Each structure stands twice: as C-alpha cells, then as structure tokens.
Amino acid sequence: RAAFLPTLSGVRSDRDKFVIFLDVKHFSPEDLTVKVQEDFVEIHGKHNERQDDHGYISREFHRRYRLPSNVDQSALSCSLSADGMLTFSGPKVQSGLDAGHSERAIPVSREEKPSSAPSS
C-alpha cells in the first residue's frame, strides 16, 4: 500500500558542512545509487524480491535533495556503515570560490563500524 521509505533520515547543514543521513539497512551497497546532477543529489535504492518473516518483499525508494550552492561538489563523499546508515556529505566552500557543478555518480564506500548518526 504505502511506498517503502527509509525510517531514520535527516539533513544537517551547518557553516562548514552539508550532511544527509539515511537508514538503508535493507539495502546492500550494490543496491544503492547516489548521483549528483546540477544542484541536486539523488539517492536511489532497489533490491529484488527476497524472503522475509512474512513472505516475499522487494523494496525501492528514490530521494532527491537540493545541495546548498556553496557545497564543494568536487569533495563529496558517501559511506555506508555496518548497521546500514548511509551518510552523504560535502564541505562548504567560502564564498568567492567557484564550486564546479556537473552530473556524476558518487561511489558508496562501506564502513565496518556502526554509524554515529544522531537518533531523534
């Protein structure tokens, strides 16, 4: 009925850094695509049908976030913690510097330790 959405998610933007965190514990790194296009980051997750406690399930989500104009797009990073928290982040540049904007994929690196994302 309702589309699957990651439960814990959030965006943090402060003076020095822009961070998106997303609970994607049902997805492996191969199931996730993170792409930057112009001023947006798109995060897409999809896994094929698999068995769970209640039968068979397949999940898919698509999220799109606007990047602040002063994020340094050449220094974006994305990682997946051992407990399934995806963290996408980029440093902010001081005004006056040109942050290059173009479309490209951001690889998802796997971390062995659980994330330290703030829980609400």
Q: Where are the domains of the chain?
A: 10-110
Query: Looking up tokens 């994929």, which residue turns up?
Result: 105
Query: What percent of the chain is modeled with pLDDT above 70?
Result: 82
- In a 10 Å sphere around its CB, with 0-12 CB exposed, 13-18 middle and 19+ buried, how is residue 33 labelled? middle
pLDDT at 9: 82
DSSP state of 71: B
pLDDT at 1: 39
Examine the pLDDT at 115 and tell me if it is beyond 60. Answer: yes
pLDDT at 13: 93
Rounded distance, CA 95 to CA 115, Å? 31
Which three-class secondary structure state does DSSP give residue 83?
A: coil
Nearest to 34 by CA among 25, 24, 26: 24
Q: Is there a contact between 22 and 63 (Cβ–Cβ < 8 Å)?
A: yes
The pTM of this model reads: 0.71
pLDDT at 53: 87
pLDDT at 112: 80
pLDDT at 100: 56
Q: Which fold has domain 10-110?
A: Immunoglobulin-like (2.60.40)
Mean pLDDT of 29-38: 94
